[in-house]
Amino acid sequence: MNSNLYMEGRTMPYINLQITKGASRDQKAQVVKEFTETLVRVLDKKPEHIHIVIEEIEDENWGFSGILTDDFRKQ
């Protein structure tokens, strides 16, 4: 997650969330809602200053534990 853009002399939270493809629109909306609520509650930020970007990555472009995700899912 990235955070803290500058706006009108104030920092504003910016979250860049990268996930593999497959989440539904409803799931992404829930993530945005809950991340926003957390930043409001924990950091006392205004919801209108919070920016969240969800980037979906193809399984073949995501690797972990030495293999690509699409190969892992085939196992």
Alpha helices in the chain (DSSP H): 25-43, 69-74
The phi, psi pair for 28, rounded to 5°, reads -65, -40
CB 41 within 8 A of CB 55: no
Catalytic pick among 13, 15, 36, 50: 13
Q: Is 47 a catalytic residue?
A: no
According to DSSP, the residues that pair with 12 across neighbouring strands are: 5
Known catalytic residues are 13
